[in-house]
């Protein structure tokens, strides 16, 4: 009898732990989707939405997946309207934005880029860069004036965008509801905070910064006894996407691997790096020269989109993660001053994007 009770208790505990693990995985996927929507990356959001819907098991997860599906589609239609509104503009037109009249220079439809003349200066905005008030103005050029459904689109944008405003989003959805549109399924999203990295603005890559993201500048480091074995990234492991950002996905047998920069860091250096879609439990820092420990200097990273500012000056480390001061853990003072390789951990089978990497001069 005791054995039966014990077996039942253990079995229940295993099921509970498994369920908690699946719930954590769903939450991580949902956070990744919200980050892509906040960053206006609808292509990545579409892929992540499929993962969220497939992972939804519990009733509350299915409700979340349904809500995010609706929001994705509203955002897709919103940005489609923004682009269509831009295409209606001509060089002789004027726009009224936040009560101020500005001149239109051009709308480059091929690159979805708007140029406005503001206070005697040309301002250039791509769809991913333009301020919310500009995006809303362009969308209103093609949407039916006064239609309450428009407020659903505006609310979705304001609720999920990194530059949005939850208060204005609620006002927009309240206005839609007064106009007869059912928004009850959307309202719970206003109580879900954006992921910590969602409001981080990714850099626009120049030719120089994009060059640092070529696969040739990054290697895979694995332990070989008490030393690190470093090899080039294979063609099927890393490639730059259309924005110049480096996408990396290691094979399933690459356990314990670190992604390291090609060159050793000097005694004093500073850098800023952006990682996208980082899974939980990863570490960033300087690889140990001997390999007796993994890192001589390290910081634990959050999940999702991560902005890393990391510097060493006169043997002292400074670090900010997502604009928050973060303590650097040192293996020992002497090792931390050595010329080690910059690296971050990456589990096999997970695609992570290095969205930017700049070194201080």
Separation between Cα atoms, residue 328 and residue 21, nearest integer Å = 29
Please give the chain's pLDDT, 361 residues, in tens. Answer: 555 555 555 455 444 434 455 578 899 899 999 999 999 999 989 999 999 999 999 999 999 999 999 999 999 999 999 999 999 999 889 999 888 899 999 999 988 899 999 888 899 999 888 999 999 999 999 999 899 999 999 999 999 999 999 999 999 999 999 999 999 999 999 999 998 888 898 888 889 999 999 999 999 998 877 788 889 999 999 999 988 999 999 998 878 789 999 998 988 999 999 999 999 899 999 988 765 678 889 999 999 999 999 999 988 999 999 999 999 999 877 767 777 889 999 999 999 999 999 998 6
Please, are residues 220 and 254 in contact by the beta-carbon 8 Å criterion?
yes
pLDDT (0 to 100) of residue 119? 84
Residue pair 50/36 in contact (Cβ under 8 Å)? The answer is no
User: Facing residues of 335 across strands?
Assistant: none
* Rounded Cα distance, 43 and 31, in Å: 16
Q: Is 276 exposed, middle or buried (0-12, 13-18, 19+ CB in 10 A)?
A: buried
* Residues 156-179: tens digit of each pLDDT: 999 999 999 999 999 999 999 999
For residue 64, give the nearest of 192, 199, 193, 197 by alpha carbon: 192
User: pLDDT value at position 170?
Assistant: 98
Domain ranges of the chain: 19-195, 207-359
From residue 30, give the alpha-carbon distance in Å to each of 33, 61, 75, 81, 193: 5, 9, 16, 25, 12
What's CA 195's distance to the chain center, in Å? Answer: 9
pLDDT, tens digit (0-9, with 9 covering 90-100), for 185-211:
999 999 999 988 888 988 888 899 999
Please tell me whether residue 1 adopts helix, strand or coil conformation: coil
pLDDT of residue 13: 43
Residues ≥6 apart with Cβ < 8 Å to 92 = 104
pLDDT for 196 equals 82
Q: Which residue shows structure tokens 């299915």?
A: 62
At 17 the pLDDT is 38
**Fold type of domain 207-359:** Jelly Rolls (2.60.120)
Q: What is the pLDDT of residue 42?
A: 93
User: Tokens 């997860």 map to which residue?
Assistant: 61
Q: In what side-by-side order are the strands of the sheet with 121-126?
A: 94-97, 100-108, 113-118, 121-126
CA distances from 21 to 14, 18, 34, 199 (A): 11, 5, 20, 27
Half-sphere exposure of residue 304: CA atoms within 13 angstroms, side-chain side: 27
Calculate the CA dihedral of residues 149, 153, 155, 158 and round it to 10 degrees: -160
């Amino acid at each position: 009898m005791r054995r039966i009770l014990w077996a039942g208790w253990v079995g229940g505990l295993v099921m509970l732990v498994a369920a908690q693990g699946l719930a954590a995985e769903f939450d991580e996927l949902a956070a990744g989707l919200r980050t892509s929507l906040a960053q206006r990356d609808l292509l990545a959001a579409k892929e992540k939405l499929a993962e969220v819907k497939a992972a939804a098991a519990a009733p509350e997860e299915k409700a979340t997946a349904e809500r995010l599906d609706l929001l994705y589609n509203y955002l897709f239609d919103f940005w489609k309207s923004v682009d269509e509104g831009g295409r209606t503009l001509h060089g002789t037109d004027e726009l009224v934005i936040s009560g101020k009249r500005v001149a239109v220079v051009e709308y480059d439809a091929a690159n979805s880029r708007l140029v406005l003349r503001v206070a005697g200066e040309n301002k250039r905005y791509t769809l991913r860069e333009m301020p919310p008030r500009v995006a809303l103005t362009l969308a209103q050029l093609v949407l039916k004036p006064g239609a309450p459904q428009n407020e659903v689109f505006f609310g979705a944008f304001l609720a999920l965008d990194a530059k949005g405003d939850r208060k204005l989003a609620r006002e927009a959805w309240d206005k839609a509801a007064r106009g007869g549109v059912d928004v009850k399924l959307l309202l719970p999203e206003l109580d879900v905070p954006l992921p910590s990295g969602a409001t981080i603005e990714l850099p626009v890559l120049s030719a120089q910064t994009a060059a640092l993201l070529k696969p040739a500048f990054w290697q895979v480091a694995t332990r070989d006894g008490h030393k690190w074995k470093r090899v080039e990234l294979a063609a099927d492991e890393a490639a730059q996407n259309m924005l110049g950002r480096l996408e990396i996905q290691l094979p399933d047998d690459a356990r314990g691997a670190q992604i390291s920069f090609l060159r050793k860091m000097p005694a004093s250096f500073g850098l800023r790096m952006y990682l996208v879609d980082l899974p939980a439990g990863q570490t960033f820092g300087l690889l140990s020269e001997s390999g007796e420990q993994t890192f001589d200097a390290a910081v634990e990273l959050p999940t999702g989109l991560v902005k890393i500012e990391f510097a060493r000056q006169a043997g002292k480390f400074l670090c900010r993660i997502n604009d928050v001061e973060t303590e650097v853990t040192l293996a020992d003072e002497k090792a931390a001053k050595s010329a080690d390789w910059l690296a971050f951990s990456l589990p096999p089978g997970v695609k992570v994007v290095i969205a930017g990497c700049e070194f201080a001069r």
